[in-house]
C-alpha cells in the first residue's frame, strides 16, 4: 500500500506547529509532537517510523500489545494516552515507555508493583480534568497536590508533568481556559517545589491554542494519519 501521504502530512503538521509557536512568540524546539497511532495497524506505524518517528501514542493497551511484537525492530517508544485500568499495569510495565494518564494512587501502586518486577522505571504525566464534560478523565485540580505528594514515594515512576484534554467545543475561549488552567496548576506546583517541565495538551483540532497557553507536548493523530474509520475506545 502507498503510504506516501504520511510524509506530506508529517511535514505539514511540523510546519503548522512551528507556525503556531512563532505566533505565540515561542521557539518551535520547545514543543514536541506525539504522533497518535490509535486504531491504525502496524503497517501504517512502520511506514511512519521509516520517516524517523519513534514515539507513538496509543489509547488502548491492547493495541500496544498487538502492535509491539510486529514492530519490535523499529525502536518504537509507546506512550499510553488513554484511561488505564489497574489490571493493565502488567502490560504497561512491560511494553510502555510513558503513561500520560496517571490519575489516582491505586494506579500508581499497581504500576510500581509491576515495574519493580520488570526492573524498569516509567515516565508519567498526571492527567487533570479541566473540562466539565463527564466523558473526560483525570483527577480534579483540587486533588493534584495530594497525588503529587503521594507519588514521591515511588522510585519507579518519574513524574515529568501534567496532561489534560480540553472541552470539545468550538468556543476557543473555553478551550484556552482548559489549557490555561493546567499551566497555572503546573506553575503553582512548581512553586511548591515540584519539577514538572512538561505540559501535554492539544490535539489535531486545537493544538495552536494549546501552544499559545504553554504546551510542551501536542498529541496529533488525524492530521498525520488521516481520518479514523474505527471508533477509538478509551
Mean pLDDT (whole number) for 34-49: 97
234 has a pLDDT exceeding 70: no
What is the pTM (predicted TM-score) of this model?
A: 0.95
Is the Cβ–Cβ distance between 234 and 82 less than 8 Å?
yes
pLDDT given for residue 233 in this prediction: 37
CA distance 67 to 174: 36
CA distance 110 to 116: 10
CA distance 64 to 93: 12
Q: Which residues of 221-234 are buried (b: 16+ CB within 10 A; e: fewer)?
A: bebbbeeeeeeeee
Q: How many CB atoms lie within 10 A of CB 215?
A: 31
CATH code for the domain defined by 4-225: 3.20.20.10
**In the chain, what are the domain boundaries?**
4-225
Amino acid at each position: 500500500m502507498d503510504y506516501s501521504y504520511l510524509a506530506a502530512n508529517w511535514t505539514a503538521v511540523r510546519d503548522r506547529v512551528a507556525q503556531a509557536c512563532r505566533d505565540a512568540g515561542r521557539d518551535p524546539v520547545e514543543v514536541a509532537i506525539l504522533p497518535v497511532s490509535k486504531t491504525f495497524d502496524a503497517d501504517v506505524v512502520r511506514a511512519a517510523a521509516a520517516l524517523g518517528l519513534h514515539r507513538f501514542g496509543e489509547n488502548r493497551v491492547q493495541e500496544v500489545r498487538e502492535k509491539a511484537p510486529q514492530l519490535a525492530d523499529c525502536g518504537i517508544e509507546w506512550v499510553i494516552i488513554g484511561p488505564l485500568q489497574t489490571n493493565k499495569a502488567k502490560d504497561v510495565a512491560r511494553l510502555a515507555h510513558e503513561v500520560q494518564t496517571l490519575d489516582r494512587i491505586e494506579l500508581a501502586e499497581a504500576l510500581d508493583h509491576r515495574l519493580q518486577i520488570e526492573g524498569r522505571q516509567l515516565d508519567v504525566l498526571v492527567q487533570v480534568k479541566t473540562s466539565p464534560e463527564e466523558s473526560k478523565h483525570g483527577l480534579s485540580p483540587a486533588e493534584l497536590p495530594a497525588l503529587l505528594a503521594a507519588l514521591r514515594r515511588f522510585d519507579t515512576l518519574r513524574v515529568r508533568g501534567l496532561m489534560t484534554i480540553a472541552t470539545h467545543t468550538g468556543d476557543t475561549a473555553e478551550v484556552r481556559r482548559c489549557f490555561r488552567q493546567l499551566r497555572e496548576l503546573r506553575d503553582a506546583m512548581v512553586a511548591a517545589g515540584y519539577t514538572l517541565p512538561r505540559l501535554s495538551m492539544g490535539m489535531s483540532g486545537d493544538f495552536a491554542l494549546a501552544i499559545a497557553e504553554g504546551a510542551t507536548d501536542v498529541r496529533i493523530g488525524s492530521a498525520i494519519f488521516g481520518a479514523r474509520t474505527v471508533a477509538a475506545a478509551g
